């Protein structure tokens, strides 16, 4: 599933073609993805000017001058295709701008979604209402984690994947961040020291920033809007590297935690 860096990369790619543009036409080539397309989507956005693009957690946001924001989630395999020469079977939503740009939301597995909300009510959108702070924002610091972890027995990794604590973190980047911070994935959250929390926050921000700069991590079907593949996977230190050598000289191991694979190094993660 595309994670925060992949969505951020997508949003930045789309912004070059959509910001300041008028939406001349919207074509829906099927009635739904994971859920039905919102009623009135075509009518509400046809003729609207795109004022800004943004992101909340793993959701992309297309803001317009009509006080409407189109929200999209890429699901398991979704991606936007820019200026496709030929539309494909799984190009389920197509935007055309007044200057002739064509952007197609392609989703073979249809686990993605599209919604339309009043921009003023964006924070109360059900998926956003209970979310924690953005990990790249100033509100996310060691004090926030200290308060969220206080007295908790749940493992550090499990709580970092809880969107109510921090928005948008996924399995890959949590594995990488806690490795850089030198913390075991199964360490009890309430037992993590201030210094370790400071290292953890810094590691999370560094890993996400580096991945965005690299265009994300290509897994299965993910690609940037221009068709290029993200190459941050080449920088993974532990994720997907079971049995490989850690930078410290240890050996990367894997175990199942909360239904997901945790990759870590017993030598440098304590």
Shared domain for 194 and 231, answered yes or no, is: yes
Rounded to the nearest 5 percent, the helix, strand and coil shares of the chain are: 30, 25, 45
Of 196, 195, 239, nearest to 217 (Cα)? 239
Q: Could you give the CA distance from residue 223 to residue 81 in angstroms, rounded to a whole number?
A: 9
* pLDDT reported for residue 2: 80
Q: Could you give the CA distance from residue 178 to residue 164 in angstroms, rounded to a whole number?
A: 19
Max distance between CA atoms of the chain, in angstroms, equals: 59
> End of a domain among 129, 161, 181?
129
Catalytic residue positions, numbered: 2-3, 58, 260
Does residue 55 sit within a domain? yes
Shared domain for 180 and 251, answered yes or no, is: yes
What's the domain count of the chain?
A: 2
List, in sequence order, every beta strand (DSSP E) within 98-212.
102-106, 113-118
Query: CA of 237: how far to CAs of 26, 44, 222, 234, 265, in Å?
Result: 42, 46, 20, 9, 10
- Coil, strand or helix at 21: coil
Does residue 269 sit within a domain? no
- Coil, strand or helix at 25: strand
Shared domain for 116 and 171, answered yes or no, is: no
Shared domain for 108 and 148, answered yes or no, is: no
- Residue the block writes with tokens 């604590």: 165
Shared domain for 101 and 187, answered yes or no, is: no
Whether the Cβ atoms of residue 123 and residue 61 lie closer than 8 Å to each other:
no
Does residue 136 sit within a domain? no
Q: Could you give the CA distance from residue 234 to residue 257 in angstroms, rounded to a whole number?
A: 24
Shared domain for 17 and 78, answered yes or no, is: yes
Identify the CATH number of the domain in which residue 260 sits: 1.10.8.50
Whether the Cβ atoms of residue 136 and residue 209 lie closer than 8 Å to each other:
yes
Shared domain for 103 and 213, answered yes or no, is: no
Does residue 236 sit within a domain? yes
* pLDDT reported for residue 220: 40
Shared domain for 57 and 10, answered yes or no, is: yes
Does residue 155 sit within a domain? yes
Does residue 154 sit within a domain? yes
> End of a domain among 94, 129, 164?
129
Q: What pLDDT tens digit does each residue of the chain (270 aa) get?
A: 688 998 999 999 999 999 999 999 999 999 999 999 999 999 999 999 999 999 999 999 999 999 999 999 999 889 999 999 999 999 999 999 999 999 999 999 999 999 999 999 999 999 999 999 999 999 999 999 999 999 999 999 999 999 999 999 999 999 999 999 999 999 999 999 999 999 999 999 999 999 998 876 544 444 455 554 444 677 899 999 999 999 999 999 999 998 999 999 999 999
> End of a domain among 104, 129, 154?
129
**Residue-range definition of the domain harbouring residue 257:** 142-264
Shared domain for 8 and 125, answered yes or no, is: yes
Shared domain for 53 and 108, answered yes or no, is: yes
Does residue 134 sit within a domain? no
Shared domain for 118 and 154, answered yes or no, is: no
Identify the CATH number of the domain in which residue 14 sits: 3.20.190.10
Q: Could you give the CA distance from residue 25 to residue 20 in angstroms, rounded to a whole number?
A: 15
Shared domain for 167 and 120, answered yes or no, is: no
φ/ψ of residue 189, rounded to 5: -60, -40
């Amino acid at each position: 599933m595309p994670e925060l860096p992949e969505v951020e990369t997508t949003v930045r790619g789309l912004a070059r073609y959509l910001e300041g543009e008028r939406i001349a036409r919207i074509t829906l080539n099927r009635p739904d993805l994971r859920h039905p397309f919102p009623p009135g989507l075509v009518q509400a956005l046809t003729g609207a000017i795109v004022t800004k693009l943004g992101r909340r957690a793993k959701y992309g946001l297309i803001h317009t001058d009509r006080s409407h924001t189109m929200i999209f989630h890429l699901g398991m395999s979704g991606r936007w295709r820019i200026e496709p020469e030929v539309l494909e079977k799984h190009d389920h939503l197509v935007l055309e701008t007044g200057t002739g740009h064509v952007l197609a939301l392609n989703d073979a597995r249809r686990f993605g979604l599209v919604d339309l909300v009043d921009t003023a009510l964006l924070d109360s959108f059900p998926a956003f209402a209970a979310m924690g702070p953005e990990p790249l924002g100033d509100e996310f610091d060691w004090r926030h984690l200290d308060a969220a972890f206080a007295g908790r027995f749940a493992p550090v990794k499990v709580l970092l994947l809880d969107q109510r604590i921090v928005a948008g973190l996924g399995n890959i980047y949590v594995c990488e961040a806690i490795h850089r911070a030198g913390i075991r994935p199964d360490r009890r959250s309430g037992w993590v020291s201030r210094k370790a929390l400071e290292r953890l926050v810094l590691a999370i921000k560094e890993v996400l920033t580096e991945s965005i700069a690299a265009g994300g991590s290509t897994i299965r079907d993910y690609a940037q809007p221009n068709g290029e593949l993200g190459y941050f996977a080449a920088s993974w230190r532990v994720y997907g590297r079971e049995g490989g050598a850690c930078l410290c000289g240890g050996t990367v191991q894997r175990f199942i935690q909360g239904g997901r694979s945790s990759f870590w190094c017993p030598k440098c993660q304590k």
